[in-house]
Amino acid sequence: MKAFTEMSNEELRALYKELNGKYHEFQSRDLSLNMSRGKPSLEQLNLSMGMMDVLNSESDLSSDDGTDCRNYGVLTGTPEAKELIGDMMEVNPDNIIIYGNSSLNVMFDTISRSMTHGVMGSTPWCKLDKVKFLCPVPGYDRHFAITEYFGIEMINVPMTPTGPDMDLVEKLVSEDDSIKGIWCVPKYANPTGISYSEETVRRFARLKPAAPDFRIYWDNAYGIHHLYDDQQDHLVEILAECKRAGNPDLVYKFSSTSKITFPGSGIASIATSRNNLEDIEKQLKIQTIGHDKVNQLRHVRYFGGIHGMVEHMRRHAEILRPKFEAIQEILTEELGGLEIGRWSNPKGGYFVAFDSMDGCAKRIVAKCKKAGLVMTNAGATYPYGKDPRDSSIRIAPSFPPLDDLKLAMHLFALCVKLVSIEKIVEDRKEAGQE
Amino acid sequence: MKAFTEMSNEELRALYKELNGKYHEFQSRDLSLNMSRGKPSLEQLNLSMGMMDVLNSESDLSSDDGTDCRNYGVLTGTPEAKELIGDMMEVNPDNIIIYGNSSLNVMFDTISRSMTHGVMGSTPWCKLDKVKFLCPVPGYDRHFAITEYFGIEMINVPMTPTGPDMDLVEKLVSEDDSIKGIWCVPKYANPTGISYSEETVRRFARLKPAAPDFRIYWDNAYGIHHLYDDQQDHLVEILAECKRAGNPDLVYKFSSTSKITFPGSGIASIATSRNNLEDIEKQLKIQTIGHDKVNQLRHVRYFGGIHGMVEHMRRHAEILRPKFEAIQEILTEELGGLEIGRWSNPKGGYFVAFDSMDGCAKRIVAKCKKAGLVMTNAGATYPYGKDPRDSSIRIAPSFPPLDDLKLAMHLFALCVKLVSIEKIVEDRKEAGQE
């Protein structure tokens, strides 16, 4: 099929009529499909049911150092949980604090602490006239929601195939001391699926921020979430790289087991320099007596080490891979050559990013919804929900069963086509080409 | 034995010599006893080992409303967890949010949110010149640590046998709009063990604070932690009382299962008015996707309802009761009639408060430590660690086994006697009575 923009209005109208008939067929099927969030599927959840058998009433619930995990105490996590998560995050266990079930909560608390107490002795951000964050776009809506909640001004930084536009990041960060951070999902990024290149990470580690309390918020949510054994992105480890660059305190690295075991019942963590950890622990010891150590023990004993976790992730991949491949097949089959959209082809993570023609994303998502398919809100992947080109749509394939996903993707492609035709015809009309 | 103050210096010196010999005997035994924190004992922890058998890989991990507890979502807790905790807290489940494992963390977050975002639209506290809290003393050190961490000025309010001095509370709260809260442990209080009287609670519910963002921080940590079936303190339920008094938004009530199941792995909660909950949820939905619902399910299924929980608490009481009774026996036997100390006799909770002669608490605790007995730091139960009379000592009998506890109490009483003699002799010297 030829590109839509090369078709005459007449051809487009004929095609629209045909496609619209198909759309009404979809509507009449009363569908209820959801590709809006990066939630593991039931099949994936079932992979971790063995977690429930690991501990029983006969178990010794002590950690290796003799700590009774049932009782109060152990502020920063048990030694063996730190070892497991250290292996997962590729950092020294001594650089880790283990938290509760949510890395989002850890990030929120990190910003909140900076608001009330600053960073390593800096002025609390709530005392400053202006605090700004850099936000690579498209990005993760829940990151942006945190900075918005605290009244932090967000500045868009375009994503490239190798990560954020580092020329721009370097320039802004070195010039403006009200810029206190940047949100990053460096591997299998949400939503583009790309991983930051070696050069990008090296440039991050060598940033010269004007603000001494500037930190990189490195949310490595998909560090071991590969789709393939033989095609995996490799990310340079940022803590080590910052240390080598003489910037040891520059980064907070976040992670969790939410998409490894149970999303509601995993363990989250932060990895950072000892200086930063000491700063954080001043808050942490006031905030809590300790996190859930029994759940730490459950994770440690279930996996028996990083190898067990890696094998577990291969089983997740077996479930996710066909879904990601179906997306590529269907989009190529339905939209290939039409020049009305581009999409990413990630080798891991939870998302595919779709770029429609400018000014079409909201209408596509709305049209999907009218036929029973819920996508992530268009614009959600931008600060303040505002995608300036209105073209970015996040596809989250993990939750629906494969057959539902295929159906959803055909419907999605159909909506892309319909809205694109509408847009092309409108644009021509506006330009007097009608 | 007659009161120490009625003994001559000569008598006191002779007695001191004898007691000091006993003290050296204790020292030579190389003891390692700890009565510093309100931690459940191993025996108590063992009561809840059945928790580990409640869920297994064959279990349906869905809540009553069909929610898959393994996955993301359900911000405020599952319906059945709210019902259980509602019964425990004596409030409507609709007035509850279930959190993670730590009610201290909930309290911290409550203050932190007020600092950055105010309370129901009020000016964020971090924008105010001065924020103050009332602190009934002696009280819970970790409460005071939170307000100190946020730079909130703490004002001591004396505890009476019926609760805080309400004349003073009413006066201060109505006059000073920089007073934003009061810390309360209303039942089996930490450390006095007393429960607030009906009149006290009614007066709390009828406070007329100058500050619209004033809240009562009602930490009902020991709500069902009775020592006896037949002698239980009854506390008027504060949410209902506030509602009746026309002050529905006046109170945040906190609770957790930390001293019911496993201290590190329980579930915590807040109960408050719908207005307050809506205010809190604006933050919560940014902070997290949800707390650990599998652990909520574990608690619900283990207890099967409030009756199961109450029966469980009776088993805790069987372990704790002999310890509390031993304290009374030993203190009465060792110190009765000497007029060098008074102590509380609570019917529940985790603590006994001991009042030494003025100016003796620090020295008593130091003397205990030198013989291998760690007590809570003297002064810890006061804001900034400053007990103006230096007389308050917290006894935490739960953790050590009964025999250790008895030994510890004899040692403690011995130290009280030694330090009291030192003090009396010093005072007489200073007054020229030597």
Q: What is the pLDDT of residues B413-425, one digit of tens each?
A: 999 999 999 999 9
Show the low-confidence residues of chain B (pLDDT under 70): 434
Structure tokens at A355: 């770029």
CB nearest A39 (choices: B42, B52, B71): B71
Q: What percent of chain B has pLDDT over 70?
A: 100
Q: Is B50's CB within 8 Å of A57's CB? A: yes
Please report residues of A whose CB lies closer than 8 A to that of B264: 69-74, 289-294
Q: What is the pLDDT of residues A80-134, one digit of tens each?
A: 999 999 999 999 999 999 999 999 999 999 999 999 999 999 999 999 999 999 9
Q: A320: Cβ–Cβ under 8 A, 6 or more apart, which residues?
A: A44, A227, A350, A397, A398
Could you tell me which chain A residue has the CA closest to the CA of B297? A265
pTM tops 0.90: yes
Whether the CB of B366 is below 8 Å from some CB of chain A: the reply is no
List, as ranges, residues 372-401 from B with C-beta within 8 Å of A.
Answer: none
- Check residue A434 and give its pLDDT: 58
* CA distance to B63, B195, B301, per residue, from B80 (Å): 7, 29, 9
Q: In angstroms, what separates the C-alpha of B185 from chain A's closest C-alpha?
A: 17
List, as ranges, residues 94-153 from B with C-beta within 8 Å of A.
Answer: 100-102, 104-105, 108-109, 112, 115-116, 124, 126-127, 142, 145-146, 149-150
CA dist., res. B378 & res. B384, Å (int): 12
* Residue B156 amino acid letter: N
Q: Is A101's CB within 8 Å of B100's CB? A: yes
Print pLDDT tens along chain A (434 aa).
Answer: 789 999 999 999 999 999 999 999 999 999 999 999 899 999 999 999 999 999 999 999 999 999 999 999 999 999 999 999 999 999 999 999 999 999 999 999 999 999 999 999 999 999 999 999 999 999 999 999 999 999 999 999 999 999 999 999 999 999 999 999 999 999 999 999 999 999 999 999 999 999 999 999 999 999 999 999 999 999 999 999 999 999 999 999 999 999 999 999 999 999 999 999 999 999 999 999 999 999 999 999 999 999 999 999 999 999 999 999 999 999 999 999 999 999 999 999 999 999 999 999 999 999 999 999 999 999 999 999 999 999 999 999 999 999 999 999 999 999 999 999 999 999 999 998 75
* CA distance to A386, B64, B289, per residue, from A269 (Å): 30, 31, 16
CB neighbour class for B431 (10 Å; exposed up to 12, middle 13-18, buried from 19): exposed
- Check residue B434 and give its pLDDT: 59
Whether the CB of B53 is below 8 Å from some CB of chain A: the reply is yes
Count CA atoms closer than 13 A to B377's CA, side-chain side. 11
CA dist., res. B372 & res. B368, Å (int): 6
Q: What is the 3-state secondary structure (H, E, C) of chain B?
A: CCCHHHCCHHHHHHHHHHHHHHHHHHHHCCCCEEECCCCCCHHHHHHCHHHHHCCCCCCCCECCCCCECCCCCCCCCCHHHHHHHHHHHCCCHHHEEECCCCHHHHHHHHHHHHHHHCCCCCCCHHHCCCCEEEEEECCCHHHHHHHHHCCCEEEEEEEECCEECHHHHHHHHHHCCCEEEEEECCCCCCCCCCCCCHHHHHHHHCCCCCCCCCEEEEECCCCCCECCCCCCCCCCCHHHHHHHCCCCCCEEEEEECCCCCCCCCCCEEEECCHHHHHHHHHHHHHHCCCCCHHHHHHHHHHHCCHHHHHHHHHHHHHHHHHHHHHHHHHHHHHHCCCCCEEECCCCECCCEEEEECCCCHHHHHHHHHHCCEEECCCCCCCHHHCCCCCCEEEECCCCCCHHHHHHHHHHHHHHHHHHHHHHHHHHHHHCCCC
DSSP A242-282: HHHTT-TTSEEEEEESTTTS-TTS--EEEE--HHHHHHHHH
Q: Is B290's CB within 8 Å of A68's CB? A: no
ipTM of the complex: 0.96
Q: In angstroms, what separates the C-alpha of A242 from chain B's closest C-alpha?
A: 28
Q: A246: Cβ–Cβ under 8 A, 6 or more apart, which residues?
A: none
Please report residues of A whose CB lies closer than 8 A to that of B116: 112, 115-116, 126, 150
Whether the CB of B297 is below 8 Å from some CB of chain A: the reply is no
Whether residue A263 is preceded by a cis peptide bond, meaning omega within 30 degrees of 0, is no
Taking CB atoms within 8 Å and a gap of at least 24, the contacts of B362-370 are: B362/B390, B363/B419, B363/B422, B363/B423, B364/B393, B364/B412, B364/B415, B364/B416, B364/B419, B365/B393, B367/B23, B367/B415, B367/B418, B367/B419, B368/B411, B368/B412, B368/B415, B370/B27
- Check residue A1 and give its pLDDT: 73
CB nearest B126 (choices: A126, A283, A293): A126
Residues A22, A29: contact at Cβ < 8 Å?
no
* CA distance to A133, A140, A164, A355, B347, per residue, from A167 (Å): 16, 22, 9, 23, 68
Q: B278: Cβ–Cβ under 8 A, 6 or more apart, which residues?
A: none
- Residue A164's SS3 state is strand
CB nearest A50 (choices: B57, B71, B126): B57
Report the C-alpha dihedral over residues A159, A160, A162, A166, rounded to 10 degrees: -70
- Check residue A407 and give its pLDDT: 97
Whether the CB of A48 is below 8 Å from some CB of chain B: the reply is yes
Structure tokens at B181: 């809260």
- Check residue B93 and give its pLDDT: 98
Q: What is the pLDDT of residues A30-47, one digit of tens each?
A: 999 999 989 999 999 999
CA dist., res. A174 & res. B149, Å (int): 32
- Check residue B1 and give its pLDDT: 73
CA dist., res. A102 & res. A256, Å (int): 7
